[in-house]
Amino acid sequence: MATRTGAPALRRRPQLSEDVADHVRGLIMSGEIRPGDFVRLDETAADLGVSVTPVREALLTLRGEGMVELVPHRGYKVSPLSRDDVRDIFWLQGVIAVELAGRAARVITAEDIDQLERFGNGLRSAVQRRDVGEIEHYEFEFHRHLNVVAGAGKLAWFLHNAVRYTPHRLYAADLTWGELAVDCHDRLITALRTGDFAQVTEQTRRQFDDGADRLTKHLDSAGIWV
């Protein structure tokens, strides 16, 4: 089974295969499709409302990432995933994010901090309303703005690629994760206002450490380890 019932139809645009890859990557990392499961081209295309071509291109991308394997005459199956894989992914994300946050802290302006606070307030409201789409939006915009302030475009690009392996919707639907994210953002904003570089590092790392623990426990309960 490649996707779950109710998968949103994707818009047709040049990067459509990237969107399909993001979708399948999220299913794999959240345990909705398991190691050894086959990702069927026709089923995935039908579920997402696209042709088979972008699905095939997406699976070639995921094969290059080691997320799926090509089985001759049978198609693509999900590669093994381990606890170490999850820890490594979040370790890398955390290292880059901490560096970016530290650079941002040295140059950030009061106007930038006010903007972060607006995104933080948006996240708080979305968590209270349990609006998953809005939670994803404000979480993304908060960190995107901070990374822009850091002024390290290549480093931000590496982080962007690393966080593709985070099943964002899984977290956004978790109320306790949302409450922790709001608290991290509040504390990070305070640290940025006061120039507390130690807290900037701690609060940035806190979210990634929690993310690794939370996903590991989720996949434990799903029984996906091989």
The pLDDT, as a whole number, for residue 173 is 95
Look over the chain and give the mean of its residue pLDDT values, rounded to a whole number: 92
**Count of domains for the chain:** 2
* Together in a domain, 194 and 87: yes
CATH number at residue 70: 1.10.10.10
CA distance 123 to 136: 8
Residue 172 CA to residue 135 CA, distance in Å, equals 6
Asked if the structure places residue 9 within a domain, the reply is no
Q: What's the domain range around 156?
A: 83-222
Which of 37, 58, 78 terminates a domain? The answer is: 78
**Is 150 a domain residue?**
yes
Rounded to the nearest 10°, the torsion over CA 157, 24, 29, 149 is: 20
Do 39 and 98 fall into the same domain?
Answer: no
Residues 54 and 157 in one domain: no
Residues 61 and 102 placed together within one structural domain of the fold = no
162-171 per-position pLDDT tens digit: 999 999 999 9
Residue 109: partners with Cβ closer than 8 Å, 6 or more residues away = none
DSSP annotation of 196: -
Q: Is residue 6 domain-resident?
A: no
pLDDT tier, 8 (very low <50, low <70, confident <90, very high otherwise): low
pLDDT per residue over 40-98, tens digit each?
Answer: 999 999 999 999 999 999 999 999 999 999 999 999 999 999 999 999 999 999 999 99
- Cα(41)–Cα(2) distance, integer angstroms: 8
Residues 113 and 173 in one domain: yes
Q: What is the CATH number of the domain that holds 176?
A: 1.20.120.530
Confirm whether 216 is domain-assigned.
Answer: yes
Are 136 and 192 members of one domain? yes
pLDDT, tens digit, 9 for 90 and up, residues 97-120:
999 999 999 999 999 999 999 999
Is there a single domain that holds both residue 151 and residue 197? yes
